[in-house]
Amino acid sequence: MTLTVINPATEAPLAELEQAGVEETDAAVLRAKSAFPAWRAVAPADRARLLRRLATLVEEHCEELARIESRNVGKPIGGARGEVGMVAQVFHFYAGAVDKHYGETIPVAGGEAFTFREPLGVVGLIVPWNFPLNIASWKLGPALATGNTVVLKPAELTPLSALRLAELALEAGIPEGVLNVVVGKGSIVGTRLVEHPDVAKIGFTGSTEVGRLVMSGAAGTIKRVTLELGGKSGNVVFADADLERAAAAAPYAVFDNAGQDCCARSRILVERSAYDRFAELLIDATEALKVGDPEDDATEMGPLISAAHRETVAGFVDGEPLYRGQTPAGKGFWYPPTLVAATNDDRIAREEVFGPVAALIPFADEAEAVRLANDTPYGLSGSIWTRNGARALRVARAIDTGVLSVNSNSSVRVTTPFGGFKQSGFGRELGMHALDGYSEVKSVFFSTEG
Ligand code: NAD
């Protein structure tokens, strides 16, 4: 079976690839299993050096990788460059973490007790199409740093950057078999990785729906799983905030990557007394967003990933929205930035749209803001805008979500933990926390008697 990879901005084919089936997946797992003993035995400083080299190669190939990502996902080239820059930083960070992931000594009677961090073995990494290389790196960095070998399954729609990264890993000197990329369907390759007895862990990023399948499939072999799933995050704007700043930033928090972002602040909760003023500012800021050719340096928003996804997104918008932007004419899976006035009970506020549609929802006071922010099955990220520091901290502690920012909409940093509460998943990526998800703690007692 061949797979045609498409540029969503032009609908032109980018590549024809052979798709793997169960047999090819099993072969990749076997390669990873065979490479594991030697990889775990690589001296920490040498493993660090190899990851450092990979980071440097990613930096040297930044423009090439960014072009691949921009064409395959339809994301603006400026953003794609930033993402590739982060991939390099991730490998630099985990190169530095290899020899800092310490065990402990624990006071016990009759001897000494130590803990060791052991690699898991072969880990299966399954990633989505919205930030293909970035999200792959968040898993690869800690997985490789802790001595695991990997089978990486990119999304069917966006396999190109992962394939190029695997070539760069070999060029960096990371041995054959340590990083294997298998291109194929989630229902075939993904399912096989989840069920394979020689795969010790699945690091999964994707929808909550598929996350559920991964979790239940993993039960058969008691596989470890990290699940980074969907979101419906709140951007909570109090009347005492710097409304101009909050409104200027809000479009980027939901229309970035054309809204195909698990951290999208797609519910903009605004204190009622500031609602009209904020809505006016937000519409102006959204109007200024540059939607167009992803290869143009000035573009801020590109198309959606596919025609089918555009149909799904369009299905969320009934009637006349508060604001609907423009899109280029002609080919490409375009959908305009759209603002909808809503309540938190509307479908647009309940379900993950994963497109450039934001729901504007009023609230009466702090208690209602917290109640509405938490009234969702998800808990991935969110923002709080206020000039009142005490309120910012109170609300930050009260919102059930894994990542929050105050007077900012940023979610992701190389050094800080990232992951969800509730049905947004569990486990943490990035920072030192991610290392725990790719290693087992072993406790050893050493008798000093006799
Ligand atoms: P998806 O769940 O459809 O697919 C994700 C990956 O899982 C793909 O590689 C796919 O091939 C694979 N897959 C599909 N069926 C499978 C199965 N039965 N078994 C194993 N693997 C299978 O998600 P998507 O449409 O690619 O991505 C969008 C979703 O990802 C959104 O819900 C978004 O919120 C979520 N996401 C979450 C994060 C996060 O960090 N929390 C980040 C990015 C995207």
Pocket test for ligand 1, best of 86, 201, 205 (most atoms within 8 A of CB): 205
Q: Residue 114 forms beta bridges with which residues? A: 105, 444
Residue 381 Cβ contacting ligand 1 at under 6 Å: no
Could you report the per-residue pLDDT of 27-65, keeping only the tens digit for each? 999 999 999 999 999 999 999 999 999 999 999 999 999
Cβ(106)–Cβ(444) below 8 Å: no
Instruction: Kindly tell me if the per-residue pLDDT of 1 is higher than 90.
Output: no
CB of 194 closer than 6 angstroms to any ligand 1 atom: yes
pLDDT of residue 25: 98
Nearest CA-CA partner of 281 in 322, 233, 313, 336: 322
Report whether 344 contacts 374 (CB < 8 A). Answer: no
Rounded distance, CA 166 to CA 72, Å? 17
Q: So what's the pLDDT on residue 443?
A: 98
- Residue 400: pLDDT band by 50, 70, 90 thresholds? very high
Does pTM top 0.85 for this prediction?
A: yes
What's the rounded mean pLDDT across residues 206-212?
Answer: 98
> pLDDT class for 370, splitting at 50, 70, 90?
very high
So what's the pLDDT on residue 95? 98
Report whether residue 207 contacts ligand 1, using a CB cutoff of 6 Å: yes
Q: Is the pLDDT confidence value at 429 over 90? A: yes
The Å distance, Cα 94 to ligand 1 centre, comes to: 24
Ligand 1 atom nearest residue 354's Cα: 31
Q: Is the pLDDT of residue 450 over 90?
A: no
Taking the C-alpha atoms of residue 186 and residue 82, their distance in angstroms, rounded to an integer, is 28
Helix, strand, coil share of the chain (percent; to 5): 45, 20, 35
Whose CA is closest to atom 40 on ligand 1? 228
Q: Which two tokens stand for residue 401?
A: 């979500």
SS3 state of residue 149: strand
Quote the ligand 1 centre to 336 CA distance (angstroms): 24
Q: Are strands 13-18 and 2-6 parallel, antiparallel or unpaired?
A: antiparallel
**Alpha helix (H) residue ranges in 241-364:** 243-255, 275-287, 307-314, 347-350
In single-letter form, the type of residue at position 340 comes to V
- Residue closest via CA to ligand 1's atom 31 equals 207
Ligand 1 midpoint to CA 127 (Å)? 6
Residues 6+ positions from 315 with CB-CB distance below 8 Å? none
Q: Which of 130, 183, 304 to mutate to test the pocket of ligand 1 (most atoms within 8 A of CB)?
A: 130
Q: How far is the CA of 205 from the centre of ligand 1 (A)?
A: 5
Ligand 1 mean position, distance from CA 210 (Å): 6
**127 in Cβ contact with 155 (< 8 Å):** yes
Confidence of residue 113 (pLDDT cuts 50, 70, 90): very high
Is 378 close to ligand 1, i.e. is its CB under 6 Å away? no
pLDDT at position 29, please? 99
Helices and strands (H, E) in the chain, number of each type? 15, 18
Strands (E), 120-190: 122-126, 149-153, 179-181
Q: Is ligand 1 within 6 A of the CB of residue 72?
A: no
Protein residue closest via CA to atom 8 of ligand 1: 155
Tally the C-alpha atoms within 13 A of residue 209's C-alpha that lie toward its C-beta. 5
Instruction: Indicate if ligand 1 lies below 6 Å from the C-beta of 25.
Output: no
Question: What atom in ligand 1 is closest to the CA of residue 191?
Answer: 19
Output the pLDDT for position 175.
98
136 alpha carbon to ligand 1 midpoint, in Å? Answer: 12
Q: What is the DSSP letter of 147?
A: T
Which ligand 1 atom is nearest residue 210's CA? 2
> Packing angle between helix 132-145 and helix 62-73, nearest 10 degrees?
130
Distance, C-alpha 135 to centroid of its chain = 5
Q: Could you tell me which of 359, 400, 350 has the C-alpha nearest to residue 265?
A: 359
Query: Which pLDDT value is given to residue 229?
Result: 98
Averaged pLDDT for residues 377-396 = 98
Percent of the chain past pLDDT 90, that is, above it, reads 99
**Quick one: average pLDDT of 93-118?**
97
Ligand 1 and 97: CB distance under 6 A: no
Indicate the pLDDT class of residue 250, thresholds 50, 70 and 90. very high
- The residue to mutate among 90, 210, 310, 352, having the most atoms of ligand 1 within 8 angstroms of its beta carbon, is 210
- Which atom of ligand 1 is nearest the CA belonging to 228? 41
126 within ligand 1 shell (Cβ under 6 A): yes
State whether the beta carbon of 210 lies less than 6 angstroms from ligand 1.
yes
**Ligand 1 in reach of 352 Cβ (< 6 A):** yes
Q: What is the pLDDT of residues 128-170, one digit of tens each?
A: 999 999 999 999 999 999 999 999 999 999 999 999 999 999 9
Q: What is the pLDDT of residue 335?
A: 98
- Residue numbers annotated as active site: 228, 262
